[in-house]
Amino acid sequence: MKLVALATAAMLHLAAGGAPDGHHEHEDSILKPDTPVDVGATLKGSTISVLAYRSFAPAKPAQGGLESSDRIVFQAWLREDGIARVRVLDEARNAWRAVANETWSVQGDLLCLSAGSFGMGRLCLDTLIYGQVFSAASPKADILVKGNWRKGNVHGL
C-alpha cells in the first residue's frame, strides 16, 4: 500500500515538471515518503465512517439474519479501551442496525476489528491515513475500504 502511495507521489512530481534525470532535484528527495502516521494513536478515541467493498459477493443469509453482499457501510467509535461501538447500515431497510460492541486493535498499520455483528468474523485492514480520510485493504486484498475519521464519539455511539 505504501509503495502505491510512493509511486503516485513520484508520478505527480514528474507531471508537475520535475525532471527524472536529477537536474532539478536529487532522486532521493523525489521518492521520500511523507511522515508516517501512527494508525493506532490517530484512530484511538475516534469515530470512523467506512464504505467497504468485498470481492466475493452473491448475497447469502449469514449469522444474525444479516446478508453478505459486496458492499458494507458502517460507523464505529473506537474507544481507547479497545471496545468499538459499531452500527451497520441495513441497506434493504435503509436504516441503521442496533449498535453492537466489538473489539479493535492496531499493530503497525494493521487495524483489526471484530465484526461479528455484521457477519464478517474478524476484519483486519492494512491502513493508510492521509488527513481526515483513510484507505485500507485486507491482506488478501479481498476487501477494499474508504473511510474518514474524527476524534470523539461523533454519532453518539
Domain ranges of the chain: 1-34, 39-151
Annotation: CATH topology of 39-151: Lipocalin (2.40.128)
Closest CA to 118 of 46, 62, 43: 62
The model scores a pTM over 0.95: no
Q: Which residues are paired to 85 by β-bridges?
A: 77, 101
d(CA 137, CA 122): 14
- Full pLDDT tens readout for the chain, 157 residues: 343 333 333 333 333 444 444 444 444 444 444 677 899 999 999 999 999 988 755 555 555 555 555 788 999 999 999 999 999 999 889 999 999 999 999 999 999 999 888 777 888 999 989 888 888 888 877 888 999 999 999 888 8
Closest CA to 118 of 149, 142, 94, 87: 87
Q: Which residues are paired to 114 by β-bridges?
A: 122
